Amino acid sequence: MDDKTYSVELSDGTMFENLSINGSYYVTDQEITEDIFDGNCNAVTVSDGETTSTLTNMELINIIKFGDSQWGFALREMTPEELATMQVRSDIDYIAMMTGVEL
């Protein structure tokens, strides 16, 4: 386990501080739910107190509970292929809506 303390800020300004890392998970004493991340991962800022990185197009992978009072969450960056597929799907849905076609 890493001795550093991390902070993660989501797109809407939601801040998680004093995080530790357990594998791929950021661990906190604060209760975590999926709705916190819904639509808030377009730009995620991660800091370890020395360096700060802003990651774009992030996605929540999983939330788990460690013991009785700790939660972990894992994020990943979406691939260019996933983003392109989402854009094509959005375009198709828009065209279908504008032309009255049921998909």
Closest to 71 (Cα-Cα) out of 79, 80, 62 = 62
CA atoms lying within 13 Å on the CB side of residue 6 = 21
Give the pLDDT mean for 63-88: 87
- Kindly report, residue by residue over 34-62, the tens digit of the pLDDT: 999 999 999 999 999 899 999 998 999 99
Q: Is the pLDDT of residue 13 over 80?
A: yes
Instruction: Give the amino acid at 40.
Output: N
Q: Distance from first CA to last CA of the chain, Å, rounded?
A: 49
pLDDT band at 14 (very low <50, low <70, confident <90, very high): very high
In this predicted structure, the answer to whether residue 77 has a pLDDT above a threshold of 80 is yes
Give the residue ranges of DSSP H helices in 1-103: 34-37, 80-99
